Structure 1
Amino acid sequence: MHSLIAVLLSLNVVPALAEPRTITADIWTDNWFEMWVNGTKVIEDSVPITTERSFNAETVRFTVELPMIVAIKAMDFKENDSGLEYIGSRRQQMGDGGLIAQFVDAETGESVAVTDSSMRCLVVHHAPIDRSCESSSNPVAGEGACAFEMADEPEGWTDPGFDASDWPQATQHTAGAVDPNGGYDAVRWSETARFVWGPDLERDNTVLCRAAID
């Protein structure tokens, strides 16, 4: 790269540099997320993951040079590693997740990117292993039907240079399947923005997603 720039300068050709752009991002997640841009954390959901019904949309504005790498960690609420919520009550169930986001040029209003299946999403917590855990009278995380699968977050996964090419593509889900509420309707979403998650909305509890935006 340095030799190429030297050649261009010797020919009195000035390489074009990307100009910073101010981006407005809208993110809605069931239930919680945090997001990095080019390795820098720009926002964390203001409603803690410990809040059972933490449905809300967040908006953040930042300045960046394109291309950029967006990394999002999204989590569905669960009481423990069994993946269940409302344990011991009549409402005991597997929760369901969902993530949708859009990135817009703050000055022109031009759509820069949206969430869709072109993203790469890695599931790092999947539970319960067997759906029968949901109806168990004594669900114990890690035992029987309530076993779980958990993986460490890959080192450096939010960094721009991290290689996520072997991660699965994000799974798109319909609005009907996610059933969004709690702030979702407050945002005017792009027609091309899609809900994404792992393949299983109910049992994929924590997902790491990356997108290259140019």
Structure 2
Amino acid sequence: MIINPLRLTFVVMACLALLVGCGRREQNRNVLKGTTGAVTIHGDVWADNWFALYLGDQLLLEDSVSITTERSFNAESFAFNADYPIVLNFVLKDFKEDDSGLEYIGTKKQQLGDGGFIAQFRDATTGKLLAATDSSWRCLVLHHGPVEDDCAAQASPVAGEGPCAFTTTAEPPNWKSEAFSTEQWQAATEFSVSDVRPKDGYDRIAWDQDARLIWSDDLKKDNTILFRIVIDKP
């Protein structure tokens, strides 16, 4: 086979341009304003349906798509500066129309929703994976509902009545602080892609093999959950 040297040169240059371009986009992630520290972190988060991320008690980022948007699934990629230990606190919410925990109340689609969450954090300089969601993360359920699946079959479901009862827990005081202990919180549960069926933004992220889809142990009835991880200096 005779290889045209001009064509080969063109192919090589195109591949190099693609690689450089991808690298440039990765390096040029905007660092979130108001963050300071010696380390720059690259983060990727996908949630069903909504999240707020705190660096300690400082609000770092909220999901850019409102939780009231139907099928509000999207991914956020960002950078921030911090110092070790890095305390990351998440508030995760699956959409619920009211405290019953149901979606699409009064329509043919009336149902229990389901959640899902995946995140990863890398050192922007070295590319080293610093943290990724898995069963080692700890979580606390703040809203659980409905207490029974039969709520979804009610013609006129009323939050707090019969199978549509729900339970709530207040956020613990100072839970975002470095010194807070999560020993009493439950371990996160890992779920498969087929369990969560992630959409809209999930596929545009190159997830590390160690990053897992997680939630509490009840993917459908636990609607508001706190997650927390502390990243120590490698």
Q: Which runs of 5+ in 1 are unaligned?
A: 1-18
- The alpha carbon displacement at 1:38 in A equals 2.4
**Residue aligning to 1:4:** none
Alpha-carbon distance in 2 for matches of 1:67, 1:118: 17
1:85 aligns with 103
Q: What is the root-mean-square deviation of aligned Cα atoms in Å?
A: 1.1
Query: Counterpart of 2:142 in 1: which secondary structure?
Result: strand
Show structure 1 runs of 4+ deviating over 3 A.
none
- In the alignment, structure 2 segments of 5+ residues that lack a partner are 1-36
Deviation readout 1:189-212 (Å, 9 max, x if unpaired)? 000101111111100001001111
Indicate if the aligned counterparts of 1:68 and 1:213 stay in contact, CA closer than 8 A.
yes
Normalised to the residue count of structure 1, the TM-score between the two structures is 0.89
2:133 maps to 1:124:
no
Q: 2:41 matched to 1:23? A: yes
Q: For 1:159-198, what aligned pairs fall within 5 Å after superposition?
A: 159-198=177-216
Inter-partner Cα distance in structure 2 for 1:65 and 1:160? 12
Q: Which residue is 1:98 aligned to?
A: 116
Task: Identify the residue that residue 94 of structure 2 maps to in structure 1.
Answer: 76
Partners of 1:122 and 1:195 in 2: how far apart?
Answer: 16
Corresponding residue of 2:63:
45
TM-score between both structures, scaled by the size of structure 2:
0.82
What letter is aligned with 1:40? Q
Q: 1:34 aligns with which of 43, 49, 52?
A: 52
Q: Which has the larger radius of gyration?
A: 2
Number of residues paired by the alignment? Answer: 196
Structure with higher helix content: 2
Deviations 1:115-137 (A, max 9, x none): 11111100110000010001111
State the alpha-carbon separation in 2 of the partners of residues 75 and 159 from structure 1.
Answer: 21
AA partner of residue 167 (structure 2): E
